[in-house]
Structure formats: structure tokens, C-alpha cells
Amino acid sequence: MNELVSQLADQAKNSVPRGVLDPNMWIAEYNRIFAELIVRECANIALREDHDPYECILKHFGIK
């Protein structure tokens, strides 16, 4: 796994509220937070005006 994706996964894991005890609810909340973090990373790249967002997002996440 790409280091950035691993960092985002850890951040999502640590962001799930401690009170979520049901495993299915925990996974749903983790997935929601993880997806939001990825979308925010992409949005920050897309805001830059001096590049092709498509290529930069792939490069940012280490996807060839």
C-alpha cells in the first residue's frame, strides 16, 4: 500500500469515535471517514490551476 494511503487509513482508524462498539457500525464509519479523507486529498490537488488534475492525483497516490 502506498505510504499516503496507509497514513490516511491510520488517520481514519483513529478518527472513528471510541463509542462505536458494533463491528458493522465501526467498519461503516471507518469507510466513510477514509473515503472522505481520500476525496479531500483529491480536491486539494484539483484546486491547483497549473496542472492536469487527473495526472497529478494518480501520481499523488502512486498509481501508474
What is the full per-residue pLDDT of the chain (64 aa) written as tens digits? Answer: 689 999 999 999 999 999 999 999 999 999 999 999 999 999 999 898 788 999 999 999 999 8
Cβ atoms of 34 and 9 within 8 Å: the answer is yes
pLDDT at position 7: 97
**42 CB-side CA count, 13 A:** 11
**How far apart, in whole angstroms, are the C-alpha atoms of residue 49 and residue 46?**
7
pLDDT at position 1: 63
- List the domain boundaries for the chain: 3-60
**What is the model's pTM?**
0.86
DSSP codes of every residue in 20-62: --SHHHHHHHHHHHHHHHHHHHHHHHHH-SSS-HHHHHHHHTT
